[in-house]
Each structure stands twice: as structure tokens, then as C-alpha cells.
Amino acid sequence: MQKLDYLASYEAAIESNEGGAFLRREGLYSSQMTEWRRLRDAGVLAGKKPGESIGKLSADQAEIARLRRQLGVSESRLKRSEAALGIMEKLSAFLENAIQESPDEPKSKKS
């Protein structure tokens, strides 16, 4: 199995909270997955054949990998922010509706 195949299987296993079990079953380490993900993100693993040596990342490849990771983090934050805004809009509409539908409370008379 190629590194890209392992990465795809590992990432699928992570989605179902089975990442650790996958690593134990395949005899791999999380540090290997981290390194292979970095190489994949830099485009170094694409087109490589099993057993073909992988050289050190060039400065451009390392920068591309860093920017791709940063983009992934930013996209994740954006999704969370959009979800939070959606919840806040629904809550605001609910509260506004609740205020409009609530009967006026009797005002207390001061003596």
C-alpha cells in the first residue's frame, strides 16, 4: 500500500474515531502520518511509485504545504463561524417572536 493510500485510509478512520485502531492494525505511528501528510500537501508524494525515494522538501514546497495547512485551518474556522452565526440568527428570530407573542404583563400599581 502506498503512503497516499495509508493517508486516505487513516483520515477516513479518524472521521469515525478509529484512527488509533487503524495505526495499531497497520503497525504505523501518528508521526509517520504527520510527515506523510506534510509531504502530500507539498505535492511531493503525487506521482511517486512505491519504494521510490522522496527527497527533502524545497523551500517552495515547504511553503506550499504550510499555506495549505493554514488554509485548512481557516476553512474550518469559517465553517464554525458560519454555523454559530446561523444559530445566533435563529435564536434572535425565536426571541423576537417570543416577545411579540407574549401577552403584556400587568403593570403593578404603586400605592
Task: Tell me the C-alpha distance between 39 and 9, whole Å.
Answer: 16
C-alpha 38: how far from chain center: 15
* Residue where the block lists cell 428570530: 93
Indicate whether 1 pLDDT > 60: no
Model confidence at 22, pLDDT cuts 50, 70, 90, reads very high
In 3D, which of 40, 37, 56 has the Cα closest to residue 48?
40
Indicate whether 106 pLDDT > 70: no
In 3D, which of 26, 61, 20, 60 has the Cα closest to residue 40?
61
Cell numbers representing residue 63 in the block: 511553503
Prediction pTM value: 0.47
Mean pLDDT for all residues in the chain:
83
Taking each helix axis from N to C end, the angle separating 3-15 and 19-26, rounded to the nearest 10 degrees, works out to: 150
Instruction: Say if CB 30 and CB 6 are below 8 A apart.
Output: no
**Tens digits of residue pLDDT in 49-83:** 555 666 677 788 788 888 888 998 899 999 999 99
Higher-confidence residue: 43 or 84?
84
pLDDT at 48: 61
pLDDT at 12: 92
Domain extents in the chain: 1-57, 59-101
